[in-house]
Amino acid sequence: MKKIFGAKKNKDPPPTIQDATDGITKRGDTIDEKIKKLDAELARYKEQIKKTRPGPAQEAVKARAMRVLKQRRMYEGQRDMLYNQTYNLDQVAFAAEGLKDAQQTMTAMKAANKELKGMMKTVKLEDIDSMQDEMMDLMDVSNEIQETLGRSYNVPDDIDEEELMGELDALEADMDFESESVPSYLQPDQESELNLPAAPTGHAAVPANQQQEDELGLPTVPQASIRT
């Protein structure tokens, strides 16, 4: 059957935007090379026109230069068209890349949405509120325990604070009265201390006109008046 009707040929895949852009870029490079050659030829003809005298020879050189100039402009037009095609392909490629990015974003968002829905099924708002209430109750119980443990056993709970303040004022009044009843020279005040002279140290000096006495209290005889 294949020999009669022939086998189907596998079709080549259609070119991508990048393939088309690469092909146009190569054609543009080829045209640029041709334009460079024509520019060099025009420069040579320009030098010949300067060197030749006006006449048939100069006119022939000008005619060849005009033909090269027409070819150059034709190639420039083709190059401009290729540049426009490349610009259009770049815009299409940019749009295609943007759509691919949008598709990837949508796929990622759908996956995240599905995951969030699965997570929300395991988390209930009622359970969170109940847990918060239990935490508050536990904190209140903990504070009561701390207050109970920190209570003083010697101080009764029914003490009147105004009565305590009255006793404190009475103690201050008694202290002021006691400090007023003590003489000023007996009060331990640094400014009212008596400045008494210091006790003498060493042996006291004996006046020159005072006669010395012995250990019995009798006047001593000078050694010079005793004759040996």
Domain limits for position 110: 17-128
The answer to whether position 74 is within a domain reads yes
User: Is 109 a residue whose pLDDT tops 90?
Assistant: yes
The answer to whether position 44 is within a domain reads yes
Helix extents (H) in the chain: 2-5, 17-51, 56-122, 125-149, 161-181
d(CA 86, CA 24): 7
d(CA 113, CA 218): 130
The answer to whether position 87 is within a domain reads yes
User: Is 134 a residue whose pLDDT tops 80?
Assistant: yes
The answer to whether position 176 is within a domain reads no
pLDDT given for residue 191 in this prediction: 47
Closest CA to 34 of 4, 79, 101, 88: 79
Q: What is the pLDDT averaged over residues 87-98?
A: 90
For the stretch 23-46, pLDDT in tens is: 888 888 899 998 898 888 888 888
The answer to whether position 93 is within a domain reads yes
Closest CA to 211 of 200, 202, 220, 201: 220
Q: Which letter, b or e, does each residue of 52-83 get, where b requires 16 or more Cβ atoms within 10 Å of its Cβ?
A: eeeeeeeeebeeebeebeebbeebeebbeebe
Q: 219: which DSSP letter?
A: B
pLDDT band of 148, cuts 50, 70, 90: confident
Q: What is the pLDDT averaged over residues 174-201?
A: 56
pLDDT given for residue 101 in this prediction: 93
Q: What is the pTM of this model?
A: 0.42
Tally of domains within the chain: 1
pLDDT band of 193, cuts 50, 70, 90: very low
pLDDT band of 125, cuts 50, 70, 90: confident
Task: Count CB-CB contacts under 10 A for residue 37.
Answer: 13
Q: What is the pLDDT averaged over residues 85-110?
A: 91
The answer to whether position 43 is within a domain reads yes
Closest CA to 71 of 28, 30, 42, 29: 42
Closest CA to 83 of 22, 25, 37: 25
Q: Which letter, b or e, does each residue of 206-215 get, where b requires 16 or more Cβ atoms within 10 Å of its Cβ?
A: eeeeeeeeee
The answer to whether position 166 is within a domain reads no
For the stretch 9-26, pLDDT in tens is: 667 778 788 888 888 888
Cα dihedral sign for 28, 30, 34, 36?
Answer: positive
d(CA 177, CA 155): 30
The answer to whether position 107 is within a domain reads yes
d(CA 146, CA 42): 104
**Which residue bears the tokens 């300067």?**
50
